[in-house]
A = this chain, B = another copy of it.
């Protein structure tokens, strides 16, 4: 039957960011809802952020549109324009190639959950405006990775 059994969907957690940038994201966890249904054109992850956990470092994507919808809890969306509080039913979208980085930070004492949708594009790469970090293309082939902004390896 086509309803997705979230309890058995593939899961992920943590981060491969080099230290010390991994610290706020180590406890992030997600269920891969799109993968559970065999979807390949975009990913849909149900992300759970415990108190003081971030969705990511602030970043932007060169080739992938991204959309998030907050289901529960309270998050702070950080972009070039500043900070916005996001609660259940709030949403935001980030167009491919827009160099205005974004991340969601749980600064509350309760868990927050959000749906994150992102297209999948083999050439996608991007940058973290606040820190000395970029991510290279071909991460879906396992050959991307995190580098200094001068592209030297960590």
Contacts and interface: CB of A to CB of B under 8 A. Distances in A.
A23 interface: no
Given A65-B40, A117-B42, A34 B1 contact: no
A56 interface: no
Interface residues of A, number: 40
Contacts of A91: 3-4, 6, 33, 44
A82 B69 CA distance: 30
A142 interface: no
B6 A36 contact: no
28 contacts: A1-B79, A1-B82, A2-B77, A2-B84, A2-B94, A2-B102, A3-B77, A3-B86, A3-B90, A4-B90, A4-B91, A4-B93, A6-B89, A33-B67, A33-B91, A33-B93, A34-B67, A37-B67, A37-B92, A39-B65, A39-B93, A41-B64, A42-B65, A44-B93, A44-B117, A67-B117, A69-B69, A119-B119
